Amino acid sequence: MKHLSEFRDPSLSRSLLARLRTTATRPARIMEVCGTHTMAIFHHGLRSMLPQGVELISGPGCPVCVTSGGDIDAFIKIASRKNVRVAIFGDLLRVPGNNGSLADAAASGAKVELVYSAMDALALAEKYPEELIVFLSVGFETTSPTVAATILAASQTETRNFCVYTSNKTIDPALELLLNDPDLQLDGLLCPGHVATIIGAHAFVPMAQRFKIPCVIGGFEPADIISALLLLLEQVNEGRHEVENGYERAVSWQGNPRARELSAKVFSKGESSWRGLGLLAKSGLTIRDEYSRYDAKERLGITAKEVPEPAGCLCGAILRGQKQPPHCPLFSKGCTPASPIGPCMVSSEGTCAAWHRYGGQQ
């Protein structure tokens, strides 16, 4: 883990921060797209150290947060079926839908397993041959190749008691929607490092050109984030709008074509419903007909219904970067991580959870 301690080196971060202060000669609104960036920024107390005028806005890149209420309700419906065991990433456990959360369902007897990978979910199929294992899949480009690989593995081993409910998404349609919003007025994008390992730095070029916005891919340690912000502010000062890769130890210009091929083999792009953003074309991954026997929606005949956002909840506007958590009347009052109303409070990568947990005002 040496690479971690190096990029957490306080003296390195301090000297980068000093350079950031001299570079920040004008106000700048930067969106950190990815939920992991949001958490890292709060976790390391970076907000308290930024130069005046540099404003960080959290974007829509928390996969749990943008999962629609309709999908969550469908998850609970599936989990409540007899002879079904659902497998999820831990973050999904407490996300509320219209009828409670998967944690509530589990307390009422539903079989809910936390897994670290889709392959772990497939392993459950062997462990519980009498049950149908349904992997409830959320995530962006980083996660989907592993889900695709799992479906291929299930197909190769002819595992019958396994299927996947996909709510997987791709980030670019959401970013385009935000960049088209005349009220948002962003000066730069801190682009998601994990997603970029798969899609490659080059994937952000069309966006940078079309919207004339500086794009810098950043890693997740303090020195990574500060140096990415530095590259962004330099572009702002110089009137450039390019894609720069500030996370070269993990991200290449071309990304990971093999992972993308895996994804494309199993999934096709379709419409997807985003919490706060609505239905976005070509933003969701659907299991191709060839693998439809592993598609939980087909197999269980379940479709997600559109459900209204909870009353008073500003998660939608927060996910669009239009509001900050303290603007929401429910923030830290009716809505806390212990009893969340909106998804931004429940996911550990959610913007509201970060503000609540780490104290955004500091």
Partner 1 sequence: MKLKQIMLDHGSGGLASQELIEKLFLRYLDHPLLADMEDSAVFSVPGTRLAMSTDSYVVDPLFFPGGDIGQLAVHGTINDLAMRGARPLYLSLAFILEEGLSYGELEKIIRSIAQASKDAAVPIITGDTKVVERGKADKIFINSTGLGVVAPDCQISLTRARPGDKIIISGPMGDHGLTIMSQRSGLSLSGDLASDTMPLHGLVEQLLDEFGPAIHTLHDPTRGGVATGLNEIASHSKVALEIMEAALPIRPQVAAGCEILGLDPLYLANEGKVLIFVAADKAQGLLNLAHSRPEGREAAIIGQVQEGPAGRVSLITAIGGSRLLTPLQGQPLPRIC
**Joined tokens for residue 31:** 């969106």
From residue 88, how far is each of 25, 53, 111, 199, 355 by CA, in Å? 46, 40, 11, 24, 25
C-beta of 227 vs 235, nearer to partner 1: 227
| Of the residues 24, 31, 36, 228, which one makes contact with partner 1 according to CB under 8 A | 36
Binding flag, residue 93, partner 1 (CB under 8 A): yes
Among the candidate windows 19-27, 38-46, 151-159, 272-280, which touches partner 1 by CB under 8 A?
Answer: 38-46
| Of the residues 57, 64, 228, 277, which one makes contact with partner 1 according to CB under 8 A | 64
Q: Where are the beta strands (DSSP E) in 80-219?
A: 84-88, 111-114, 132-137, 162-166, 188-192, 215-218
CB of 104 to partner 1, least distance (A): 7
Residues 240-279 that bind partner 1 (CB under 8 A): none
Helix, strand or coil, per DSSP, at residue 97: strand
C-beta of 109 vs 301, nearer to partner 1: 109
Binding flag, residue 46, partner 1 (CB under 8 A): yes
From residue 271, how far is each of 76, 167, 170 by CA, in Å? 22, 10, 11
Sign of CA dihedral 334, 325, 318, 96: negative
Helix, strand or coil, per DSSP, at residue 179: helix
CA 45 to chain centre: 21
Binding flag, residue 324, partner 1 (CB under 8 A): no
Q: Residues 32, 266: contact at Cβ < 8 Å?
A: no
User: Which is nearest to 316 in space by CA: 288, 282, 350?
Assistant: 350
Among the candidate windows 86-94, 127-135, 147-155, 256-264, which touches partner 1 by CB under 8 A?
Answer: 86-94
Distance CA 83, CA 151 (A): 21
Calculate the CA dihedral of residues 170, 171, 174, 179 and round it to 10 degrees.
-150
* Cβ-based neighbours of 209, under 8 Å, separated by 6 or more: 241
| Of the residues 32, 71, 73, 91, which one makes contact with partner 1 according to CB under 8 A | 91
| Of the residues 55, 77, 81, 103, which one makes contact with partner 1 according to CB under 8 A | 103
CB of 106 to partner 1, least distance (A): 8
CB of 251 to partner 1, least distance (A): 15
CB of 103 to partner 1, least distance (A): 6
CB of 282 to partner 1, least distance (A): 22
| Of the residues 97, 188, 222, 255, which one makes contact with partner 1 according to CB under 8 A | 222
Distance CA 264, CA 287 (A): 10
CB of 9 to partner 1, least distance (A): 8
**Joined tokens for residue 57:** 């806005």
Binding flag, residue 356, partner 1 (CB under 8 A): yes
C-beta of 25 vs 339, nearer to partner 1: 339
Tokens 């969550």, residue located? 72
Helix, strand or coil, per DSSP, at residue 246: coil
Count of residues interacting with partner 1 (CB under 8 A): 52
| Of the residues 138, 201, 230, 319, which one makes contact with partner 1 according to CB under 8 A | 138
CB of 143 to partner 1, least distance (A): 6
Q: In what order do the strands lie in the sheet with 132-137?
A: 111-114, 84-88, 132-137, 162-166
C-beta of 64 vs 296, nearer to partner 1: 64
| Of the residues 6, 14, 206, 254, which one makes contact with partner 1 according to CB under 8 A | 14
Residues 161-220 that bind partner 1 (CB under 8 A): 194
Binding flag, residue 316, partner 1 (CB under 8 A): no
What is the contact surface with partner 1 in residues (CB under 8 A)? 1, 4, 8, 10, 13-14, 17, 36, 39, 42-49, 63-64, 89-94, 103-104, 106-108, 114, 116, 120, 138-140, 142-143, 194, 222, 336-339, 347-349, 356-359, 362
